Amino acid sequence: ETGVTQSPTHLIKTRGQQVTLRCSSQSGHNTVSWYQQALGQGPQFIFQYYREEENGRGNFPPRFSGLQFPNYSSELNVNALELDDSALYLCASSDQGASSYNEQFFGPGTRLTVL
């Protein structure tokens, strides 16, 4: 069973640029959640995709957007990058129905630095 993978592992961008981060969910999982973890903080929920539809969103501006593909992999897109977007971006996959909780398995993350 392949675990959650993310790419790239590290990324450096400048303010105003756009970035796309990718996540492959664990085999058999239909749900992907994205989190932002700033240095010294706990992860913060960005949004979740369940069977290709957004299934919840945290307190992040619209310049944070996402997609989930038929194979349940996912992308996180961030437009107009700001310095405060520098963080570890974590993807987590799970196998769940619309309202039940199942364990979320995290990928190793993408470390984004915005200069």
Partner 1 sequence: RKEVEQDPGPFNVPEGATVAFNCTYSNSASQSFFWYRQDCRKEPKLLMSVYSSGNEDGRFTAQLNRASQYISLLIRDSKLSDSATYLCVVSRAQAGTALIFGKGTTLSVSS
The residues of the shown chain that bind partner 1, judged by CB under 8 A, are 31, 33, 35, 40-45, 47-48, 50, 54-58, 90, 92, 94, 96, 99-101, 103-104, 106-109
Query: Is residue 100 within 8 Å of 50, Cβ to Cβ?
Result: no
Q: Which is nearer to partner 1, 35 or 72 (CB)?
A: 35
Neighbours of 34 (CB within 10 A): 25
Give the rounded distance of the alpha carbon of 58 from its chain centre. Answer: 12
Q: Which is nearer to partner 1, 20 or 44 (CB)?
A: 44
How far apart CA 94 and CA 78 sit, in angstroms, is 23
Q: How far is the CB of 79 from partner 1 (least distance, A)?
A: 22
